[in-house]
Structure 1
Amino acid sequence: MPMGSWRDSGSVPSHEVTPLTSIVGEPGGLYVWDACGSTGRTVLGVTDQPLVARLRLVTAMLSMPDNGAYGVIRSARLDPMVGYPRYVYGRVLVRVRRGAAGLIEAADDC
């Protein structure tokens, strides 16, 4: 089910942006985002704010003009059973890809 798309008209989204619907992870959880270009370039991060995850994913995707670039946002939490920072990943909340027309297309993964 399509959720939105962005026309790449420069380095930032324009007023043509159709926003993603709200994403909800686990209460008190984290949002891990990553974007991968077809050349192997990867941009990733983690935040506790769903809006920040969405904005950073879109920004990363805008920096990857190549067809075949894709990205995801998924829920995560810190694993309390180990003595070092390790994430336990939950479900994928959002998937995006760069389509042939140059648009960043998002689809609900639920």
Structure 2
Amino acid sequence: VQLLHGIHFTGYYMGGIFRLRHYFPDRLYGTGQGLFMVIATATGALIGAYISGILLEPRAPDQSLDYSAVFLAALMVHVAVFFGFLLIPDPEKKKVGHLHETDLA
């Protein structure tokens, strides 16, 4: 299982870095990498914390110590931020009436 996890993480990380080059200009590449690492590591932490909350919550009838709702709320906020980043416009897309450097070749 750990071997598969390592293979998956390598592909995920390499794909993320590749996409960063596409979305962030050179002057903002470090900022993009920082955002990617925060988002990438926070996803695993939030999902893991939520599942742990479900597994560890007390089975009291009144659910007075229901921590899973807290982790679910944090997960939903994180997912909203993730999809918000997907709405960032792509600077590489051609603008109407403007030449792209590949048009000159």
TM-score higher than 0.5 here?
Answer: no
TM-score category of the 2 structures, normalised to the smaller one: under 0.3
Bigger helix share: 2
CA radius of gyration, larger in: 2
Greater fraction strand: 1
Which gives a bigger RCO, structure 1 or 2 (Cα 8 Å, sep 6+)? 1
